[in-house]
Structure 1
Amino acid sequence: MQKKLTVTIDERVYAGLHRVAGRRRISRFVESLVRPHVIGKDLETAYRQMAQEEAREAEALEWAEATVGDVADEAR
């Protein structure tokens, strides 16, 4: 069940939210940032569950291996 919340923020922050999250996606963006700070979760159990999802793990490994080379291109 969702609840509606009214929050007052600086106009520059609001503009940044639109720029970063996009129109009609601000709520989801803010919730994803806030959720870990307000909902207790056993991380070890969550990581174990994620590791059991073979397709997700394969995708994560593929992503990690594909991006590891990008580090060499970073400015120092």
Structure 2
Amino acid sequence: MQKKLTVTIDEEVYDGLRTVIGPGKISRFIEDLVRPHVIKKDMYAAYETMGADHVRETEALEWSEGTIGDVNHEEG
């Protein structure tokens, strides 16, 4: 079921949405942007997708292990 929502935005942003996204497609565009931030099951699916990206995970692991040395040498 869909619900109607009234949102007030700057005229320049509205014009940009109509130009780039197109009239009649703005609601779907905004819903697709907002959904992962408010629906947890989509957030979990996004984490699974990120975890399945082996190149990204390898780079993230290398980065995190590279910062361990920084912690040991912090001045405080």
- TM tier, smaller: 0.5 to 0.7
- Distance in 1 between the 2:36 and 2:20 partners? 20
* TM-score using structure 2 length: 0.56
TM-score by length of 1: 0.56
Letter matched to residue 17 of structure 1: L
Task: Please tell me whether Structure 1 or Structure 2 has the larger radius of gyration of its CA atoms.
Answer: 2
Which residue is equivalent to 1:6? 6
Q: By how many angstroms is 1:20 displaced? A: 1.4
Where in structure 1 are there 5+ consecutive unaligned residues? 48-76
Structure 2 gaps, min length 5: 50-76
Q: Paired residue for 2:59? A: none
Q: Give the number of aligned pairs.
A: 46
* Structure 1 runs of 4+ with >3 Å offset: none
Q: 1:25-76 CA deviation, whole Å, 9 max, x = no partner? A: 10001101111111112222xx4xxxxxxxxxxxxxxxxxxxxxxxxxxxxx
CA distance in 2, matches of 1:40, 1:20: 29
User: 1:26-45, aligned counterparts within 5 Å?
Assistant: 26-41=26-41, 42-43=44-45, 44=48
Return the alpha-carbon distance in structure 2 between the equivalents of residues 16 and 36 of structure 1: 23
Aligned-pair identity (%): 69
Question: What RMSD, in angstroms, separates the aligned Cα atoms of the two structures?
Answer: 1.5
